[in-house]
Structure 1
């Protein structure tokens, strides 16, 4: 196969760690997306997709066999894999599955189809296609929206036959989380009048502790008239990529003394009094995320008297190895333009309130926490716009126990398709994601963010909190047109477990810690009581005191069911 070395590459780089980036090889055709899977730059994956199928092309620095697959947990088994190699011009390629630490088994049904295979220099190239849903639930894995953990391996030698593969070794394998089915933004031209502003940590010495939240206040650029911010991207200090877990920028309502510009402090330990109210999310980025660009008709307003004049940059450093004397100047860059878009965008924070009443007991394989945004708060949010508001993107966030996050959507008791769903959430791979279609939110709607946690093997409770070892369950919804409501958060009260003599939160925690969480009945009862519990809810709006209310969980009359794949009806 002939390759034109001048073939113009047109990709969106996805989830590539800066200090280990290598130039990509030239693929056989123009692919919209690629990823470097390993740190040495020896394994590259290119792909494209449509509504029914996905096409992959692997470029691997080996003249032996190449393995590629999909695994829910990122481990080598159970997984849906293919293995191929080129021997004297003949391509060998088989669809397989793994069940343990032994050779992958050849599938009964060969559902991955080879399109091309060849050697070029030191590399083996394999191009293949498969259906997103092969209808083979026993030996294949369905490819869905959200995080997909791909696994890979390679070996320097060709096998002698289809079975009896030589083990690839620990250094020639790995896994990586990708959003395989995220829409690729079309090549948009940056407006010629674009400017940028950097929020960065100025040579901050990262403390030698497991987790640290560092905050810096910034005065936004002084602008003569309204501008729209339309893009942001992370600026990561080379060598510190594994320490910077997430970065948030919050706006500060009202007047902030100009002398606060550049003020630096530990975010949640005695912050300056006037900066405590800087709590509305403006920009969000987390580890694994790429640059984010808003659609052409939407921008985030800056520069008007009603817009924030000050922001606070929050950088969460995750330093489990307690590295010392690390200096960091990471941060975020925002791009803005005086050429206004049609709509102002807003961000709604919804989910479980960050509070110790979010409680995850030990020994659960799938514990569910729910954060409710009731119809009254949604009505306040949409009241200024009779046609409702439209969600364009979402950012889902949990911590280390999180296995999945879903933002559910109800209207008059009927559940609609989820606004966003990630069944295989990865703490180390988070970013804002554009919805495939804008989602209308009306005054009759209820939102519910659910997080799914695995605490099996733990001998302690995990509580809601700020540390990485605590938990969170949040969904940041970007929408338009902008309204004053900026957060709708709730937390269960657990009335069933509270003593009549002492109804305090501390008494509740002490009692729950006496229960036998290895007992499935205890676990099932706690999940049910949590689901049915009254909730304390806050609907937070600019310039209004956030008085909480006690609410019942929403009544779901008609749950949503996933559409059936008609192609599988005959299987």
Structure 2
């Protein structure tokens, strides 16, 4: 009996060790375009993957497999339902190009749109901090993961592409759940001008979020993008805490935030893009093509208890209809927000 008991004990230890190794191991899932042919300029293509029904996974990193001479930028969305059930579709709903009959046209997500990751300009691999992960699958709104790639130039005949990235994931539950909040603006940029594109919003959820990474994105006119946490004290004075500031023409990867101070209920988040159109003779609008512009500040964060914010986007109409100075914000760091930084 002693030998049988010892055998059962050894089997139990083996099974436990196997389960711990299996579930804690970080694996790679290749999320790639299925050898497609970008047949025209300014083409946005999406491709989906269904998350396993009865399991929960935790994405702990993103390993790009793309170059900027091929892909203008990539986005990874978490969707409750994808925009299409096709293998690929045209998801450039903001594009000024007319739709054609080669592909179904639909947004990346038809329900439950969550930005998980963004890449451009040869950004490097991103690994999340210890015990932090994006939860997907069972028990979450993310039942599909959709890769979107913007191809700014059409490919030569018979040339195919399988750009994308590896998702680094584990089945081991992470104690801190990650989220992304995108601060962005609409608006117009006049020619021969320095224009500030600005946005801000207030946190109205009773949660504490911990920022750890930021990413900036514009097209060619962007010079500086800055993001802030704004907290008002008892005397009514706003204290602006710099989350990140960067030249968006450098590699558009996620960088560590300048501060990791928590963001709480009642705090405000604000972002500014400083755009230089000195050498442009036309008005530039916000849009999806290289001839247009964008003003984006992505904030990646985690929560220690509960789920990430329900709020995923913080947007304004932008110039000439919206500026910080026209709101109740005060103590605005006007010089710092547009100061060059690489």
The question of a shared fold, defined as TM-score above 0.5 by the shorter chain, is answered with: yes
1:214 aligns with 2:45: yes
- Normalising by structure 1, we get a TM-score of 0.48
Deviations 1:372-429 (A, max 9, x none): 22x2xx123xx1x2xx21111111111110011000221114233310011x331x52
Residue number in structure 2 paired with 1:484: 310
Once the 2 structures are TM-superposed, how far is the Cα of residue 431 of structure 1 from its aligned partner? 0.4
Residue number in structure 2 paired with 1:193: 25
Change (3 A) 1:418 1:308: same
1:262 aligns with 2:87: yes
Give the whole-Å Cα distance in 1 for the aligned partners of 2:276 and 2:270: 20
1:554 maps to which of 325, 328, 342 = 328
Residue number in structure 1 paired with 2:210: 390
Give the whole-Å Cα distance in 2 for the aligned partners of 1:448 and 1:192: 37
Structure 1 gap segments, 5+ residues each = 1-189, 496-528, 534-552, 563-571
Residue number in structure 1 paired with 2:60: 230
Q: 1:370-519 maps to which residues of 2 (within 5 A)?
A: 370-373=198-201, 375=202, 378-380=203-205, 383=206, 385=207, 388-412=208-232, 413-422=237-246, 424-426=247-249, 429-435=251-257, 437-481=259-303, 482-492=308-318, 494=320
SS of the residue aligned with 2:280?
Answer: coil
Deviations 1:186-241 (A, max 9, x none): xxxx98622222211111112242x2211112212x164322110111123xxx65
1:359 maps to which of 188, 193, 202 = 188
Change (3 A) 1:331 1:438: same
Give the whole-Å Cα distance in 1 for the aligned partners of 2:280 and 2:120: 26
Alpha carbons 2:184, 2:199 under 8 Å: kept: yes
Alpha carbons 1:301, 1:307 under 8 Å: kept: no
Change (3 A) 1:195 1:271: same
Alpha carbons 1:201, 1:216 under 8 Å: kept: yes
Change (3 A) 1:531 1:346: closer
1:290 aligns with 2:117: no
1:317 maps to which of 134, 139, 151 = 151
Give the whole-Å Cα distance in 1 for the aligned partners of 2:107 and 2:64: 28
Give the whole-Å Cα distance in 2 for the aligned partners of 1:490 and 1:397: 16
Pair member with larger Rg: 1
Change (3 A) 1:208 1:559: closer
1:349 aligns with 2:171: no
Give the whole-Å Cα distance in 1 for the aligned partners of 2:61 and 2:145: 17
Change (3 A) 1:271 1:489: same
1:333 maps to which of 148, 166, 169 = 166
Deviations 1:14-45 (A, max 9, x none): xxxxxxxxxxxxxxxxxxxxxxxxxxxxxxxx
1:243 aligns with 2:70: yes
Give the whole-Å Cα distance in 2 for the aligned partners of 1:311 and 1:389: 24
Give the whole-Å Cα distance in 2 for the aligned partners of 1:225 and 1:245: 33
- Normalising by structure 2, we get a TM-score of 0.78
Over the residues paired in the alignment, what is the CA RMSD in angstroms? 2.7
Change (3 A) 1:227 1:417: same
Change (3 A) 1:204 1:403: same
State the structure with bigger RCO (CA 8 A, min sep 6), 1 or 2.
Answer: 2
Q: 1:61-80 maps to which residues of 2 (within 5 A)?
A: none
Alpha carbons 1:286, 1:431 under 8 Å: kept: yes
Q: 1:171-186 maps to which residues of 2 (within 5 A)?
A: none
Change (3 A) 1:532 1:199: same
Alpha carbons 2:26, 2:168 under 8 Å: kept: yes
Give the whole-Å Cα distance in 2 for the aligned partners of 1:246 and 1:466: 11
